[in-house]
Structure 1
Amino acid sequence: MFSFLKLVAFVAVAFVAGAQAETHTVTFTNLCGEGVPTLKANGVTLSTGAAYTSSGPLEAAIAYLDVGCGANGEYCTMVETTLVNPTTAGSGSSTDITLISPHAFSVTTGFGYYNGCDGTGADCTSASCSTAFHESGDSGVQVACQTDNVNLAITFCD
């Protein structure tokens, strides 16, 4: 029999678990005066400029300022991100800027973590910036964060 005390205990556990659920927010600042900030994951558009908050991990997401880009940011500067709470050392969030073809420099693009790893991020201000991937064999430009529920701010034309 399901007693009232068991019901109260179940609701309390569910509330505590819900209050501690994993979330990540991606925000945009567009100072370009044109274009549409776009966030996608698995081919689905999650945001066209508004802040987006995930309920759980945000994996394999891409963001770009759509100024005549292809459907997945082709021909534009693109931010790639996975925001996930770390379960082991080194398994947390990772973000980078890519200019690997068919992506190409389109506008100054930068990102930074907040609500953890504050001040950590990267900016790409030209087609030759050293903070972006240029070829698939490049390494060292990914920016990691090992903080639960970290958020990401992306800025265009700063």
Structure 2
Amino acid sequence: MKFSTLAAILSTTVIGAWAETHTVHFNNRCGFGTPMLIQGPNVLSHGEDFTSNGPFRAAIAYLQNGNCGFNGDGCTLVELTLVNPTSPGSGSSADISLIPPLKFSQAAAFNYNKCGNIGASCPDANCPKAFRKPDDNFAQVACQENDAGLTITFC
């Protein structure tokens, strides 16, 4: 009985040590709109923190200002994948996208909560660090740290 209890405790501890979590935090400084976090057909957040217990892939975020489509059409979009790296270059990635039908709607920025607080910002419609066409890969900002959360700021 003692061995099985010890094995269960060790198993839980080891699994807990390997688990990954990623938190997306919103900072809406605009005074209007609702931050949205979408993954596929699911709305995951209306501005409250969202924590993924495991890899968090292919999500989008934008400020719903009344003019955005469900997938952010017509607005400034932050695209994100938050995963612990398993090999060099396989960690988290985020970017700001203005590829049509997306367009600049208000300033947006993001910063990783790890990786030296790196990120990108799009302060106006000129936005030199945004995707404007699908091969603008320079716009991707990577983070190769475990449990890399992201803070997304509007305005």
Shorter-chain TM-score category? over 0.9
TM-score by length of 1: 0.93
Aligned with 2:46 (options 14, 35, 48): 48
Q: Which 5+ residue runs of structure 2 have no aligned equivalent?
A: none
User: Equivalents in 2 of 1:50, 1:129: separation in Å?
Assistant: 26
Aligned with 1:151 (options 142, 149, 152): 149
Q: Quick check: 1:126 aligned with 2:148?
A: no
User: Equivalents in 1 of 2:112, 2:84: separation in Å?
Assistant: 13
User: Equivalents in 2 of 1:130, 1:139: separation in Å?
Assistant: 12
* Aligned-partner SS, 2:138: coil
Identity %: 50
Shift, 1:19, TM fit = 4.1
Shift, 1:119, TM fit = 2.5
Runs of 4 or more consecutive aligned structure 1 residues displaced over 2 Å after TM superposition? none
Structure 2 equivalent of residue 106 of structure 1: 105
* Aligned-partner SS, 2:102: coil
Q: Quick check: 1:26 aligned with 2:20?
A: no
Structure 1 equivalent of residue 91 of structure 2: 92
TM-score by length of 2: 0.95
Shift, 1:131, TM fit = 0.6
* Aligned-partner SS, 2:51: strand
User: Equivalents in 1 of 2:4, 2:76: separation in Å?
Assistant: 54
Q: How many residue pairs align between the two structures?
A: 154
Contact 1:112/1:118 (8 A) holds in 2: no
Segment of structure 1 superposing worse, 130-139 or 7-16: 7-16
* Aligned-partner SS, 2:126: coil
Contact 1:43/1:72 (8 A) holds in 2: no
AA of the residue aligned to 2:124? S
Give RMSD over aligned pairs. Answer: 1.1
Contact 1:26/1:53 (8 A) holds in 2: yes
Shift, 1:20, TM fit = 3.5
User: Equivalents in 1 of 2:115, 2:41: separation in Å?
Assistant: 28
